[in-house]
Structure formats: C-alpha cells, structure tokens
Structure 1
Amino acid sequence: MSALAEAEEAERRIYGEKVRVAQLLRKDRVKRFLNFRALNSQDRAEWSELMEQDVTLTLPITPYRYFPRREIAQLNRVVRGLDEVLVDNASLALLAECIGQGSPQWRQAIKQSMACKIEFEYPDAHLLCAGDRVMCKYSMHITNCERVGGPPNSSCTQHGMLQCTFNPVSEKIQTAEFVFDVMNFMQQLQMCWLMGPEGALAPSTLESSAPVLQHSREPQAVVSAAFPYTVLNSNAVWRNLTGQIQFEAGSNESMTAQLSTPLLQALRVYDFQRDLVLRLCAACARGTPGSAVFLSHDWRENNTQTSLSPLVFYIKVLPLSSQGDDISHLLVSLVELPLTLQEGRAAADRARLLMTYPHLTG
C-alpha cells in the first residue's frame, strides 16, 4: 500500500507541476497580448505564437474609433480571426495618436514622434487562473495628453477586465473578451481632446462620413479604395489647400470624371515618398486604418514639380464601406505640420538628397 500511495503522490505532484507550468505560460501570454496591443505590433508571426488563427475577440461597441460594422453583434463587437485582431490594434493605436489632433502642441509632438500612446497596467496579483481561463483586471492609460494640448492634469484611463480562454492542446488564446465602461472612457476622451460628443464618433461607412466631411475644419476627402485612389468628394478646406476643382451635384458626370484627381497628384507627393502613401492606402483598402507623415511640393509658392521648398503633412486614412461590408472608399484627413526655418532647411536638404539618390529611402 505504501508503494501505491507513493506512486499516486508522485502522479499528483507531476500533474500539479504540469498545471503550474501551464498557468504560468497562459499568464505570460495574456501579458504579451496586452503588451503587443499597446505597441500596435503588426508582426503576424509574433501574434501567431499567442493566439489561434480563428481567435475571437469580444469587446463593447467603441463608437469613438474605427471598426467595421459587420462586427456588431447585439450590444458588443465580435472580432473574428487573427488578422482582424491586428486591424483592431491599429484602430486603437490610431485613436491614441490622434488625441489633440490639430493643436499646435499635437503638431509638434507628431514631428517629434511624441504623440499619445497606449500603456497597460496589470499587477501579477490581478491575473487569476480558473480551468482553461485566465482573468485579468487591467488599467489602460493613454499617455502624453498634456503634451498634445490637453487640460492640465488631464488623463485618460480605462479600467476593465480581460478574460481569455485557451486551447488545451496548443495553449494559445482561443477567445478573449474585454469588459469596460464605454461612456466613462468617451467622456475622458472628450475632455482630453477638447471636443464635443459628435467629434468622438468615428465614421466607418460612406453615409456616416458625409457630416464629418461637411463640418470638419481640417482638409478631408473621400477617395476610391482602388489605385490610383481618385478623389471623389472633398470639403472646402481640402479644395482650398490643393486647388482641386469640384462640380456641384447634378453637374455633367463625364466632366466631373475628367477632373477627378488621383490622390498622389492632389497631394503633390515627392516621388521618393509615393510608395509610403500608396502602401498606407493599400493597407486601408484591405481594412487597416493608419497614418503617416510625408513631404509635399510647396505649390503655394511654386507650383512646379522641381520645387525644393517642401511642405510636411500628417495624413490619416480610414476605410469606408457603402453597400454591404466591402470597403469601397477611404476617408483621407490632412494636417499640415509647420516647420521652423531650421526644420525647413533640413527637409529641403533631405528632399534634394532623396530626389537625387532615391535608393536611400530603403
């Protein structure tokens, strides 16, 4: 009997050690999930080590940032598949980056790569294991709000719970669910961003983009979601900036088509940065919102393609669907980033160098 008891005790210890190791691995993968989400990692190979390809992410409806309307299921959003999780990460990062958008402080922060970012806080004591689940109490902080023009002592923090279930064979995350107070977070965003409730609503359809385009004080345009990303509609600020001609509704369609302008032409993008803008638009046409900073010819003083007095713009691109869930259009927003004399000279030198030696862009 003693030998049998010893054998059973050894089995229990082995089993207990397996459970302990599995729990440590699962907790580590939950931590890495939050870290990758905060950093907006788009490395699919890294994510594949953490999550199943058919992972399901559930979270409350988030009207303050982009998401495709097909994800709405009753009172939640349901994100299906690893690729869609990466899209959601990009949307969250873009939300943080755009806090304070347009303010002088924000423009300076963008030039210095010091825009708001995401940080997750999750003490080890707040990670609990139960069966194949790991539950985590977290705080998501948006940093640098004051740096981009937010009120003194302003902060934006989301307190919530994350629950993950794991595949018992691969030990990868099979499902993940965030629970948090959406209204409280939206109110904090509005205070940090100094905007009204209507400004916190992110368009995802062609129809919902119309009032945004009409009321925005920044240059915005709706472009086609296929190369050459033709400008189809724009607000007065965009037209004043780019000099684009646009007919009123009811005008001759053939004439309008002839005057429709490819995006790169409308923006006067330098040749060595064409790929940057095209990659941004191509990714957005596949569903991933994004942003970039690019150099443009200064057409206000010299409307020639040889001008070496560049303008610097921040460009943000959001996907738009029209009928069904397919992406048919893109919403493009521009913010000019004013340069000091020294910055202008440096930008001109860089433009001159890369126009002469375009291979250096790689």
Structure 2
Amino acid sequence: MGDLLGVAVLGAGHMGSDHIRRLSRVVSGARVAAVADPETAAAREAVAGLDGVAVHTDVEAALDAPGVEAVLVASPGPAHEEALLAAFARGLPVLCEKPMVPDSAGALRVVEAEVRLGRRLAQIGFMRRYDAEYRRLKSLLDGGRLGRPLFLHCTHRNVSSPPRFTSAMLINSSVSHEIDAARWLLGQEPTAVTVLRPRPSGGAPDGLLDPQFVLLETDGGALVDVEVFVNCGFGYQVRCEAVCEAGSARIGEEHAMVVTARGSAGAEVPQDYLVRFADAYDREVQAWVDATRRGRVTGASAWDGYAASAVAEAGVAALERGGRVTVDLAPRPEAYGPPGASA
C-alpha cells in the first residue's frame, strides 16, 4: 500500500460513501487511509471490508492519521471552509466537493489562504468538466466553428429534493453546477442574475419555491438561462444547448436503452446524479489522484469555487428581493487562470 496515495475522506454520507467506494474499487493509485464523520456508524459502514482505514469523528484527527497524503472533502458545505484551511495548514492537496464554501466571504478567505501558500492545493468538484458530452461541447465552442456563443439554455431536474432543502438551495446547491459549467464553457464571467418564479409545483414541499428560472448575463454578452426543478417526480435530467452565431449544439439527450413491448416504447430515465454522472465522477477522481501523485493540481480551482459562490449569492438575493442583481467579484489573483481554463 506504500505506493498508493493515502486519502482522508471527510464525510461518509451519500456523496462521501460513493467516493470511498470509488477510491477503493474503481480508481487506481489511491487508497482510503482515514474517514471522518460525526456519525461513526455511517463511517464504519462505508469502510466495511477495507483494511487499514482509521475512522474518526474529528476532521483534524483524520488529517493527522498515519498514511494520509491527500484529502477528499465530501461533508456538508458549511463544514468545507474549516476542512480546507486545515488541509492547507498541513500542505495536503485536497479535492473538495461543491459548493467549495456556500458564502462568498468564506470562499474568498479560502482563496486568500491558498494565495498566501504560494501554490495551488485545492481542486473543486465540478465534475461536469469531466463529462464526455460537456467536454465535446467545450471543444466545439473553443474551436470557433459555430461562431460566438449567444445563449446557453440549461435544464436541471431532480426526482425530489432531500429533507431540509430550501428555496435558496435550488440556486446555491443545484444551479451552482450550471454557473460553473457556463463560466467554463464560455470563458466568461456572469455579471448579473435575475430569478423568475412560476407558481410552485404541486409536488414541491410546502414553502419550497420550486421550480425556478434563473437568468445569467455575462461579460462576453451571452445569456444563460437555467430551468431548475428539483421535485419533477420522474427522473434526473441535465441538458444544455449552446446557440451560437452559426449553429447550435445540444447535450444531455439521454441516449439510453429503449425498450419496446406491447405496443409502446420507453427509455430509462436516470433517477440520481450519481447514475447520470458516474463516469464523470470516476474521471474526475482519477485525474485528481494522477495529478496529485505527480505533485500537480488541475481542474476547477479555488477561484472557480469562489466565483460560483459569489454568483449563486447574487442569485439568492435576486430570488429573495426580486429584480436584477449584479455580481460583485473580487479581483482575480494572478495565480488563477481565466474562467474558461480547461480541467
């Protein structure tokens, strides 16, 4: 095991347990060395059958566990800032699930702490940058064959929202993926956000403003619209269409198996993001492991995490008070590349 990258996984919930499975069964070159979660029963269940894994309730104890060389943060968003700063203090490279830090002030503190280190340690888990369809769309737009992008039309639907999901979380948890994808695909920064709300769906829990329509303006003159509907009831769907001066391109059409029987035909609809983006998560974590073992950091940066949080924060403000809200980004440090930098 000495040749394998020892990873501490922080969080053993739905996302964390899937990453533990991925590191131990799918990804090459790494092993789970420690896990931290306040729910020790969940943590022990997630590592059942794995040898040499230390289980802790405390984040810092997990980071200091023998054999830990890198960190994967999959705990709830409000815990991310503390975990990232603790990893930075130990010089540990870290893959942090989104949102990097839910509030822009905390996210900026993470950026500033990394800049003080003088080197990148953090990669943020915007896994769509590793999805095969998104990467093909990125390559097409970068190549310029379709001309200047004018619109991105995006759809983000979930079967149902988890307990304690709030109206603001439709933007700062769900639409945060579209925010990063738009910045990456277009190489442009969002400058303003408007949120429109139809009458809530009958399938939404009481008090939840679901669905929502989010409109982003960018500094390159493009418009990005997102229909986010987290209690659609029928499946998990993520789609994106780029409309450009000389053509359009659409991804997310679910080229799944079609079953025909008794006079009807039907295609399977994914029920979960871990199904739809399974390959993207595998590619993302493998790329992170490979880069870390070479002493490099690639993928979405801490600045990308901050920018997504700042745009989402403006979106929540637009949701709560109505109207158009401008995005106020801090000056980007020279250590970070432009919004369209490739994963």
Q: TM-score, normalised by structure 2?
A: 0.29
Q: Higher RCO, 1 or 2 (CA under 8 Å, sep at least 6)?
A: 2
Q: TM-score, normalised by structure 1?
A: 0.28
Structure with greater helix percent: 1
Larger Rg: 1
